[in-house]
């Protein structure tokens, strides 16, 4: 079974630019979660998508947005990039129809803002 | 939001010793907890989980203990090996769907 895959592995942008990060969940998983992990810190919840709809979002400004496609893959978009957006962005997936269960993570996209 | 915290941000142990990583959670209504391991350059990897109707669960070389009275979770690793060096996170599900809240992590270093 293929795990959660994220692309690109690394992304370098400059202030003010826009970034798009992609995530493919495990086959059969309908929920995708996005987290931000700044260097040396824990995971901050960003967004949760399920069945194509946004179910919840964390305490982040509106320039962090995303969407989920019919095949359950997802994009995270960050507009007007700021230096403090430099972090590892992790995507996780699960199938909530099987009850509360662990989220399975990809290896993340390292976003660096110059 | 919820708060899940760890008592010790760093932990160093000798190879072969047992390790204990602690976690405090704030929501007494939480009913499901997970420990994750994150190695350098990788995403968090599921280790073991426990539901609130249990107080202990064992896996291969790992044991999770749950004390609901004091809202405390611990991860015990037996015979710690160099490959166990990583950051360990606890995560809490406060019965609000499948959303989890993560602690800041404990960095475990195994000394050969």
pLDDT tens digits along B19-78: 999 999 888 888 899 999 999 989 999 999 999 999 999 999 999 999 999 999 999 999
Distance CA A58, CA A47 (A): 6
Residues from A contacting B (CB-CB < 8 Å) are 4, 31, 33, 35, 41-43, 45, 48, 55-56, 58-59, 90, 92, 94, 96, 100-108
Q: Which of A41, A96, A105 sits opposite B44 (nearest CB)?
A: A105
Set out the domains of chain A in order of their start, with CATH numbers: 5-113 (2.60.40.10)
pLDDT-based confidence at residue A1 (cuts at 50, 70, 90): low
The 10s digit of each residue's pLDDT in A38-77 is: 877 789 999 999 999 999 999 999 999 999 999 999 999 9
CB atoms B1 and A42 under 8 Å: no
Looking at the complex, does the CB of residue B106 fall below 8 Å from at least one CB of chain A?
Answer: no
Determine the Cα–Cα distance for residues B76 and A85; give it in Å rounded to an integer: 35
Q: Which residue has the tokens 């993570």?
A: A105
Name all domains of chain B by residue range, CATH numbers in brackets. Answer: 4-111 (2.60.40.10)
Query: Chain A within 8 Å of B89 (Cβ-Cβ)?
Result: yes
């Amino acid at each position: 079974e293929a795990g959660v895959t994220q692309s690109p592995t690394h992304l370098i942008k400059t202030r003010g630019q826009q970034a798009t990060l992609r995530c493919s969940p495990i086959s059969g998983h309908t929920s995708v979660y996005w987290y931000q992990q700044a260097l040396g810190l824990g995971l901050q919840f960003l967004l949760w998508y399920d069945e194509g709809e946004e179910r919840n979002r964390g305490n982040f400004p509106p320039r962090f947005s995303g969407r989920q496609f019919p095949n359950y893959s997802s994009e995270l978009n960050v507009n007007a990039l700021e230096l403090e957006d430099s972090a590892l962005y992790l995507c996780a997936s699960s199938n909530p129809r099987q009850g509360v269960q662990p989220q399975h993570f990809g290896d993340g996209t390292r976003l660096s803002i110059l | 939001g919820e708060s899940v915290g760890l008592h010790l941000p760093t932990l160093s142990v000798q190879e072969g010793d047992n390790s204990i990583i602690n976690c405090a959670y704030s929501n007494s209504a939480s009913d499901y907890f997970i420990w994750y391991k994150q190695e350098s350059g990788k995403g968090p990897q599921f280790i073991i989980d426990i539901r609130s109707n249990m107080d202990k669960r064992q896996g291969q070389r790992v044991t999770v203990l749950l004390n609901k009275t004091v809202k405390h979770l611990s991860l015990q690793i037996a015979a710690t090996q160099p490959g166990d060096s990583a950051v360990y996170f606890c995560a809490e599900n406060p019965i609000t769907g499948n959303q989890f809240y993560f602690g800041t992590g404990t960095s475990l270093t195994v000394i050969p």
